[in-house]
Amino acid sequence: MAAKRLLAFTTGLVAGAAVAVKYASRPRDVRWLDYAHLLPHARTSQFRVVNGVRLHLQEKNRSAKETIVLIHGYCSSSYTWSKCLDLIAEAGYRVIAPDLKGFGYSEKPVDNRYRVEDQADLIAGLLDALEVREATLIGNSYGGAVAMVTALRHPQRVRRLVLVNAAYDKTGLPPLPRTYLYYLLRGIVPILMSRRLVKSVMSRLYYNRDVITDEHVDSYFRPLVSASCQAAALATFRQWDLSLLEREMSQIRQPTLIIWGEEDHLLPVRNGAHIHLTIEGSEFIVIPECGHVPQEERPQDFVSLVVDFCKKELV
């Protein structure tokens, strides 16, 4: 009996030590300077302080008359648009791809301002900082929610919307279960986070898995392994409330294009149909043999749809 207790104690001690090492070995943050040589379009990177938060962004074709802002999804970064920046710039548009607060190479402050409204206000503030009067906002997944909320809170700043497999929280968790899950995830995310996990999640989001190269996985994993990004992702999860869109999405008046990957198993096509039916006058295009991130799987087709939409005269 004593031997069993000793074995159990020793096992627990070793496990606890392993967990402690995992926590302690996480980098505190990810620095742009350390990885600039690995980043696509690194020469276009810059940083701006908006509402007290230092945001990283990439920008091309600054002299163009019209501006397009690309907003990435949850636990993603501006990297998701790397295949589209040149294509959009070559089509004659100024293109700006920021990292949202808490993600990529943007600052990740420890505060309670990770609501979708907070991110939307930062997008509007970024337009001010870059002296952009109005822009077409393109948002993927959670970034689609940020784009819609920006259009609702700052309608004069948004010329058009392009919503790409956009989130709107119809099936969101109630606050109490979300809080319990938050505390559970806060304990296990640092332990479970690995390159293998990131690749596994990607394999469920992409239809064309050929795009999941080592470089692709590393670009997503690099920020997510840091303690500050994990804390920001968890804060965003805890404060996730897109009920504003359930109430007010029908009030969006900007010309809107909805693009959806047909094989998205996270946010299925019926979600896109709901947005289409809710936003009056919107256009809805489904891309076959494509998953959750069309801009990565089908960048040329994606940009062609965007450019065709943006060339239409505004009524």
**Residue 184: per-residue pLDDT:** 82
**Residue 8: per-residue pLDDT:** 39
- What are the pLDDT digits (tens) for 147-194? 999 999 999 999 999 999 999 976 555 665 767 687 788 888 888 999
> Which structure tokens are listed for 114?
């990770």
- What are the pLDDT digits (tens) for 17-44? 334 444 455 789 999 999 999 999 999 9
Residue 209 neighbours by CB under 8 Å, 6+ apart: 202, 203
Beta strands 283-287 and 256-261 are: parallel
In a domain, 64, yes or no: yes
Where is pLDDT greater, at 97 or 192?
97
Mean pLDDT of 125-152: 98
Nearest to 76 by CA among 170, 187, 173, 206: 206
Is the pLDDT reported for residue 2 higher than 90? no
- What are the pLDDT digits (tens) for 193-245? 999 999 999 999 999 999 999 999 999 999 999 999 999 999 999 999 999 99
Intra-chain end-to-end CA distance of the chain, in Å = 82
* Range list of H helices, 26-174: 32-35, 85-90, 116-129, 142-153
User: The CATH number of the domain where 144 resides is what?
Assistant: 3.40.50.1820
Instruction: List C-alpha distances in Å: 204 to 29, 77, 106, 215.
Output: 27, 18, 27, 18
Sign of the CA dihedral running 100, 59, 91, 84: negative
Give the integer Cα–Cα distance in Å for 30 and 21. Answer: 19
Domain count, the chain: 1
Residue 119's domain comprises 12-17+25-310
In a domain, 109, yes or no: yes
**Residue 181: per-residue pLDDT:** 81
**Residue 186: per-residue pLDDT:** 83
**Residue 25: per-residue pLDDT:** 59
In a domain, 287, yes or no: yes
> Which structure tokens are listed for 312?
């239409």
Instruction: Please state the separation of Cα 161 from the chain's center in Å.
Output: 16
* Mean predicted lDDT score pLDDT of the chain: 91
**Residue 171: per-residue pLDDT:** 52
Instruction: List C-alpha distances in Å: 278 to 152, 174, 189, 310.
Output: 14, 23, 36, 21
In a domain, 288, yes or no: yes
In a domain, 155, yes or no: yes
The dihedrals phi and psi of 3, each to the nearest 5 degrees, come to -65, -40
**Residue 36: per-residue pLDDT:** 97
In a domain, 297, yes or no: yes
The reported pTM is 0.91
